Structure 1
Amino acid sequence: MFQPRGKTLNIWISAATILVGVHLRFTDDQGVMGGIIDSTSFVKQFNNPSALQQGHITGLYDIGCLVGSLLTLVIGEKLGRRKSIYIGCVFVIIGTILQATARVIPHLMVGRVVTGMGVGVMTSIVPTWQSEVSGADNRGVYLTIQSANINTGFLLSNWITLGASYATSQFQWIFPICVQLIFASYLLVSVPFLVESPRWVANHKSIEEATRIIACLQDRDENDPEVLRVRDEISAALEEEGQSSWSDLFKNGGQQNFRRMLLGFGVLYMQQLTGINSIAYYLPIVLVEYLPVKENMAHIIAAVAATQYAVFSFVPVLFIEKIGRRTIMLWGAVAMMILSALIAVGFNVPGQGGAIMTVVMYCLFYDAFGMSYLNVPWMYAPEINSLQMRSKGGAVASASNWLFNGIVVTVTPSSLAAIGWKYYVVWAVFNASFIPMIYFLYPETKGLSLEQIDHIFEGKGHGRSCFTQGVQESVKGVAAIEASRADHRRSDIENARYDDSDSTNEKEAPTSVGVEHANSD
């Protein structure tokens, strides 16, 4: 079998992960389904579905994604990265066929759930796979490109549904759904030519096979010093982690797996509670119902906003490895806090001026999100989890995304109806709350190999340091991390000696008392 190497192999892997990003937004509520659910042929075929039925048709996709993420939590580590992607593709193909052949709503709903399960599996495992095959100097760039193409899928779905809308037959809604088969089929065909994660192979097969994969990724000889350095880092990480079990994911011992899982869960919780999907899902509706904007103009504004949003999503490629994850998230939270507040202000400015101000703030909010919380959360979870817990931690993080995404899109219509402009004050408060969370709890990972990131979390930690250990050192770089690591090791040794001393004293005390009693007798 033909096996690409080096830069060609990395491009192929990146192309596969990009397709997952495009497919993610193409299939979701903002993508194809949002564009066809009110089309003439769709409404006729499904007997004019009510608003509640429409909500179930779109929302069940998120349920499927959540189930797929939890499925990966159970089987992902055992199967490996590539086999998990195969399973995700199969689910997507079956789900797409079920949707395209549906003639009644329950049939369509089943198809949505099955498709969502496939996407949930892929969003759980693909960022992990990409992070494990990428080098420390370009990992952020590759993962940024993958995340940015989520918006490419959004744009593509809008254009395809717009073109299909001019048809009068069932082609109007069946064709956009069937386009999903292209993405899944490409992944099924291309992934066999790509390599498994060398870190997964080292953990589940052999370090020798992992070395061959590292050499292939770097297009070097297996005995090359750089290949051997990466091999030795992986081997040392596995030795330090030792054997692991499911319960270790919820322990905060020497590897701080529980802390790492919470960081991955939390960063995708923050992504959804920036308020992005309260805008992206409902922008045309909000412009028509709450601002003096006509329906045609509202759709044009939404399309223009989505286009410039997609463009700005690629901008972090220029600085993700220079500025770092923490700084990007900090300034992103500050920007979205301010912009959410200004959107609320725009709602209270009467006339056309208020509408213009609000639209501009919506567009700037898109841009701020696209350059910060669109990409960093998806890369952060696989970066900070330990080797043996990486797929599990990634699955928990993905589940967090789909859980809070579902909550936001569910509560937004009723919240806007109940409190209007004050709803955006809520998002301003959420974004403000992220600033101290990121500053005190989230380590920096730029420029660090996955094994160097492990060193941030080594040591049991005591009290507050259980959740803040290594954060400030990580900002200063590898040298500060290693110095802190040595301090923690010395502290652990001293604590162990102290514990041994106490244990010895406790054993001696009863003996001396017994001697005294014996003498008195």
Structure 2
Amino acid sequence: MFGTQRYFGLRGNNLDKAIAFLAGLDFFLFGYDQGVMGGLLTLPSFVHTFPEIDVINASPAESDHVSLIQGISVASYNLGCLMGSICTIWLGDYLGRRKMIFLGATIMVVGAALQCSSFTLSQLIVGRIITGVGNGMSTATVPTWQSETSKSHRRGNLVMIEGAMITGGICLSYWLDFGFSFLEPSSISWRFPIAFQIIFAVVIVVLILELPESPRWLVLKGRTDEAVMVLSALRGLPEDDPQVYAEMMAIKDTVALTSKFSFKDLFTMGPDRHFHRVVLACVNQMFQQISGINLITYYAAIIYEQQLHLSPLMSRILAAANGTEYFLASFIAVYTIEKFGRRSLMLFGAIGMSASMIVLAITNAYQGTGTGVVAAISLFVFNSFFSVGWLAISWLYPAEIVPLAIRAPANALSTSSNWAFNFMVVMIAPVSFSSIGYQTYIIFAVINAFIVPIVYFLYPETAYRSLEEMDHIFHKTSSWMGLVGTARDEPRMFGKHGEQLIDYEETAEHKNATRVVWGSDEGSSGVLAKALPGTEKPEDSQVENIVR
């Protein structure tokens, strides 16, 4: 499409940045689509077009019914996301990472076009479902693509940047909603903000196929020559470099030790502990949603207007400011994810979110001018804790702990868990506010407190671990409770700057793979070399453990 020069002529860190840019743009689109509806639900021209979801002007007798219809309309997007992520379970490994993202972005263009041209609620809902299907495909695939193409010591930072882009999209959508609200009573005030997302989707469609496929997926499909070329480009090293050779050997060992995938493999244990990993991944994504974040993302303006009794203008300003603070706070995780690790940030976030929900419950139970200010601040504080501990980690962590053989379907399943509980929260929030009011926040405070011990005892640290190292850690684990200790005690293969600390050929996992696949401790290098032309084992004098 862009000439004969592969990957726009980029290699090494520059190619990493290009992948990070497009992955970030996809999650920026995801965030924009999450946030854009929140600022429109109280807009006069919007509720005039769709009076069925006007909760502001509904009579007390109609309030519960209208709240239910509003919940269905807003949550229909999440239902579409669930459908899209489920499709990825079967399509993900068939099409590959890039083509799934391409398909998802294309479908989002169609869905957004239907939404912004809607004149009936049914058309709006259909458009939101279609948009959701595309987004579900993309969000189930992008973290896997990013994780499988990045270096172990940079993987966390890169996916945290993706998370920051989610909040960047939310922030932009809030401010765009606010700016275009001054065009009232024209329907452009809501049609343009919805249509604006098409620009991001088109950029993704145009660029994604020009960037490299995951080398791990290529090896899984037997395309080893192409995998070596991609890995060489990603690392900025010659194809016969010792580091490329060692990484390819680790990937091929992982593939060789796994049988052909079938869906039931997700629910089996065995030495790979597939079911253990899938449960951890799905529960991690579930925790992200039942924390209550989308209570705020989707309904911030309504909370400010209905519960805190602020004016429509002030409610939109505060919602936009909330989105801005959310975006800025998300960068804290970018600089702390590798320093403090995944576990520490998840624990920190859950404790802070629980405390914030308690404050929200108290201030809404005893309303007044002072408590209203505290409640408004608590919404900002909650977003900060969530952005540090759970925003992006829940997209990174599942891709880090599941093995290559089931990575695409397992991540699709965990993403399905995310969207299923996202749908539930967004669906019940208006009804819950209408029925039990401030007690809604008490429920979420208890849930967040419950998350803390689960993470502490069951979730291992993955920082500075290669994806293949996590396989070895699970292989050595014999119980659910012992996993955290195994991960803590196992020596790392790579250092904090990406330097190789252990020669892969001397590791127990490689020797085990050699015995299982080749029947002895000798000869795997020769067979690998035949499978990978141009990657014969380098001479010892070539091997240099340097930071690249």
> Match for residue 503 of structure 1?
none
Q: Is 1:332 matched with 2:356? A: no
- Read off the aligned partner of 1:59 and give its amino acid letter: A
Change (3 A) 1:275 1:37: closer
CA contact (8 A) 2:152 2:464 kept: yes
User: Which of 4, 9, 18 lines up with 1:12 in the alignment?
Assistant: 18
Residue 290 of structure 1 and its aligned partner are, at CA, apart by 3.2
Change (3 A) 1:361 1:105: closer
Residue 231 of structure 1 and its aligned partner are, at CA, apart by 0.6
User: Which of 101, 108, 119 lines up with 1:85 in the alignment?
Assistant: 101
Moved beyond 6 Å, runs of 4+: none
Residues 239-290 of structure 1: per-residue CA shift (max 9 Å, x gap):
2223332211110111111111111100011111112222333333333433
> Match for residue 153 of structure 1?
169
Residue 101 of structure 1 and its aligned partner are, at CA, apart by 3.3
TM-score after normalising by structure 2? 0.83
Residues 445-465 of structure 1: per-residue CA shift (max 9 Å, x gap):
00000000111111573xxx1
Q: Is 1:162 matched with 2:178? A: yes
Residue 209 of structure 1 and its aligned partner are, at CA, apart by 1.9
- Read off the aligned partner of 2:28 and give its amino acid letter: V
Residues 436-479 of structure 1: per-residue CA shift (max 9 Å, x gap):
21111111100000000111111573xxx1x2343112134535
Measure the CA separation in 1 of the matches of 2:22 and 2:460.
Answer: 29
- Read off the aligned partner of 1:117 and give its amino acid letter: V
Correspondence 1:167-206 to 2 at 5 A? 167=183, 168-206=185-223
Change (3 A) 1:162 1:361: closer
Moved more, 199-208 or 473-482: 473-482
Correspondence 1:26-45 to 2 at 5 A? 26-28=32-34, 31-45=35-49
Residue 305 of structure 1 and its aligned partner are, at CA, apart by 2.1
CA contact (8 A) 1:346 1:355 kept: yes
Measure the CA separation in 2 of the matches of 1:365 and 1:55.
Answer: 22
Residue 37 of structure 1 and its aligned partner are, at CA, apart by 4.5
Measure the CA separation in 2 of the matches of 1:274 and 1:47.
Answer: 31
Residue 301 of structure 1 and its aligned partner are, at CA, apart by 2.5
Residues 153-193 of structure 1: per-residue CA shift (max 9 Å, x gap):
11111222223233354433332222122111111111122
Moved more, 414-423 or 242-251: 414-423
Segments of 5+ residues of structure 2 without an aligned counterpart are: 55-65, 495-501, 513-548
SS in 2 for 1:396: helix
Change (3 A) 1:345 1:56: closer
User: Which of 284, 299, 302 lines up with 1:267 in the alignment?
Assistant: 284
CA contact (8 A) 1:448 1:478 kept: no
> Match for residue 119 of structure 1?
135
- Read off the aligned partner of 2:194 and give its amino acid letter: I
Measure the CA separation in 2 of the matches of 1:288 and 1:171.
Answer: 23
Residues 28-76 of structure 1: per-residue CA shift (max 9 Å, x gap):
3xx2233335444444545665535544332211111010010101211
CA contact (8 A) 1:136 1:448 kept: yes
> Match for residue 471 of structure 1?
484
- Read off the aligned partner of 2:361 and give its amino acid letter: A
Segments of 5+ residues of structure 1 without an aligned counterpart are: 490-521
Change (3 A) 1:124 1:133: same
Residue 97 of structure 1 and its aligned partner are, at CA, apart by 2.3
Change (3 A) 1:411 1:292: same
> Match for residue 24 of structure 1?
30
TM-score after normalising by structure 1? 0.87
Measure the CA separation in 1 of the matches of 2:227 and 2:417.
Answer: 31
Change (3 A) 1:376 1:485: farther
CA contact (8 A) 1:132 1:198 kept: yes
Q: Is 1:381 matched with 2:385? A: no
> Match for residue 284 of structure 1?
301
**What RMSD, in angstroms, separates the aligned Cα atoms of the two structures?**
2.5
Correspondence 1:411-450 to 2 at 5 A? 411-450=428-467
CA contact (8 A) 2:363 2:374 kept: yes
Residue 429 of structure 1 and its aligned partner are, at CA, apart by 1.4
Measure the CA separation in 2 of the matches of 1:179 and 1:266.
Answer: 33
Q: Is 1:59 matched with 2:63? A: no
CA contact (8 A) 2:86 2:413 kept: yes
Residues 379-400 of structure 1: per-residue CA shift (max 9 Å, x gap):
0011111101111111111111
CA contact (8 A) 2:105 2:202 kept: yes
Larger radius of gyration: 1
Give the number of the structure whose residues are more often helix, by fraction: 1
Correspondence 1:287-298 to 2 at 5 A? 287-291=304-308, 293-298=310-315
